Amino acid sequence: MLIGPRMHDGNNGYLVITPLQREGSGTTVLVNRGWIPKKLRRQVNRLEGLPTGQVIVEGLLREPWKKNIFTPDNKPEQGEYYFPDVQQMAMITGSQPVWIEETMGNGVIPEIWPNGD
């Protein structure tokens, strides 16, 4: 799932939200994996940043920011998210309404794409 568009260092892009199935319990949580530039919106354009197999996520449990009056409503039927409505995203993905911001690791953009270039 992508949230955006969002600016980062003067570049337009998106936050990548990934449902992560937890080992053992089998429950799923939502992980904010970080920002990607607009040109990498399609997964086929960022294969090196897609996790495969078992992964370890280190992050913080956070309450995401709230929608303000200028933010449009999410359009999940079109795959468009402008703010993290955790309840809505959890329902769509079948995950728990838990939001984790990844703080360690490679994130979504490998080092070969500094600032998304």
Residues 6+ apart with CB under 8 A from 49: 36, 40, 106, 107, 108, 109, 110
Instruction: Give SS3 for 42.
Output: coil
**pLDDT tens, 49-93?**
777 888 888 899 988 888 999 999 999 999 999 999 999 999 999
**pLDDT tens, 35-46?**
999 999 988 888
8 Å CB contact between 57 and 99: no
Token digits of residue 29: 């949580």
DSSP letter at 117? -
| pTM: predicted TM-score of the whole model, two decimal places | 0.83
Q: How far apart are CA 33 and CA 18, in angstroms?
A: 7
For residue 13, with 0-12 CB atoms within 10 Å meaning exposed, 13-18 middle and 19 or more buried, which class applies? buried
8 Å CB contact between 116 and 36: yes
